[in-house]
Amino acid sequence: MSHSIPLQRSCPLCKQKDTVTLSQNHVQCNADGCRFDVQFGCPLCYTDLQPENFSEAGFRCPGCKMDIALRKIQYLIENSLVVDHDMRCRLCNGPTLHRPDANLGHRCFHFPKCSGQAGLFGQAQESFVFLDFETTGLEPSKEHIIEIGALKIDEDGYEHIFQHFIKPPKPVGAHITQITGITDEMLENAPPLEEVMKAFIAFIGNAKIVAHNAEFDIPWLITSAMRTGETLQNNPVICTLKWARRAKEPRASLGILTKKYKITHANAHRALADACSTRELFLIFENQYAAERMDETLEIYKAFCEKLLQH
Ligand SMILES: [Zn+2]
Ligand SMILES: [Zn+2]
Ligand SMILES: [Zn+2]
């Protein structure tokens, strides 16, 4: 009965990747010689869990009697989410989840059962990737990506995070360090573009891509794929900057809009922080109906990107 689920997290003790698993009430590292092994209790009431509380799919808490799927536990751990008992779901009054360090707002603990989150995306089962790049400059033909941050929402409403530094072939300029806080030292041991792009394109899959200023981010995505020989699908693209302009927002930068809509925007100009803020903004636009969402596709940027690389 005790089957183990691999977790997309590196081991906090030995730092290795792909060695941590979840099995019943244990999270443990299976690397040779590593002794990382912690037990967790019910995330809702903190009651200790025993092996007999578990079935294949999850557990029934002996304290609060809630049935909780192992996939939910996996999701909490992989995304560093915390349960907030003070902020309640507007629909079911259940506790909420959030990630304080990544600008992710509160959402219902009980999604996708409770439509507190699923309802935000309507009935259609859509998958989205909110992405942002930090780069050494503005022109994809001359400059380089140094960080990719992305947040994926899958068809069931679960979030997945992609966050990687990339080692550029030249040092990062002082003004870029000033804007982003990213230094050459931070990039020293980062993998090259080829390695990260391969993983990133697999991460995106056929999801709809959302960016705040797609005209900046999408050419970076396409030219990087072209350079590394990776193939992108013709994904739909949604630009929240264009959307804001259609909704007649007087000023549409991410910084201004997050302030206006009271979205937490710590670590501005770091890729994952900006991607998460874009996601919160997307939810607000989706709910206020000030303007229709407009889906483009990657295709319309491709010819332009081919030209960019010819120079
Ligand atoms: Zn370990
Ligand atoms: Zn409980
Ligand atoms: Zn709810």
Calculate how far, in angstroms, residue 22's C-alpha sits from the geometric centre of ligand 1: 13
Calculate how far, in angstroms, residue 119's C-alpha sits from the geometric centre of ligand 3: 10
Q: What pTM does this model have?
A: 0.77
Query: What pLDDT, on the 0 to 100 scale, is given for residue 266?
Result: 81
What protein residues have CB closer than 5 angstroms to ion ligand 3?
89, 91-92, 94, 108, 110, 114, 116
Mean pLDDT within 183-191: 95
The widest CA-to-CA distance across the chain, in whole angstroms, is 66
Is it the case that residue 277 has pLDDT exceeding 80?
yes
For the four alpha carbons of 138, 139, 145 and 146, in that order, the dihedral sign comes to negative
CATH fold of the domain at 1-78: N-terminal domain of TfIIb (2.20.25)
Query: What pLDDT, on the 0 to 100 scale, is given for residue 159?
Result: 83
The full set of domain ranges for the chain reads 1-78, 125-310
Which ligand sits closest to the CA of 19?
1
For residues 14 and 17, what is the distance between their CA atoms, to the nearest angstrom? 9
Contact predicate 97/116, CB 8 Å: no
Calculate how far, in angstroms, residue 163's C-alpha sits from the geometric centre of ligand 1: 20
Calculate how far, in angstroms, residue 6's C-alpha sits from the geometric centre of ligand 1: 13
CATH fold of the domain at 125-310: Nucleotidyltransferase; domain 5 (3.30.420)
37: burial class by Cβ within 10 Å (0-12, 13-18, 19+)? exposed
Is it the case that residue 186 has pLDDT exceeding 80?
yes
Calculate how far, in angstroms, residue 92's C-alpha sits from the geometric centre of ligand 3: 4
What would the pLDDT profile of 226-258 be if each residue is shown by its tens digit?
999 999 999 999 999 999 999 999 999 999 999
Closest CA to 209 of 135, 150, 268: 150
For residues 85 and 180, what is the distance between their CA atoms, to the nearest angstrom? 34
Query: What pLDDT, on the 0 to 100 scale, is given for residue 75?
Result: 87
Q: Which percentage of the chain shows pLDDT scores above 90? A: 59
Supply the mean pLDDT for the chain.
Answer: 89
Query: What pLDDT, on the 0 to 100 scale, is given for residue 120?
Result: 52
Q: What's 9's DSSP letter?
A: S
Contact predicate 121/146, CB 8 Å: no
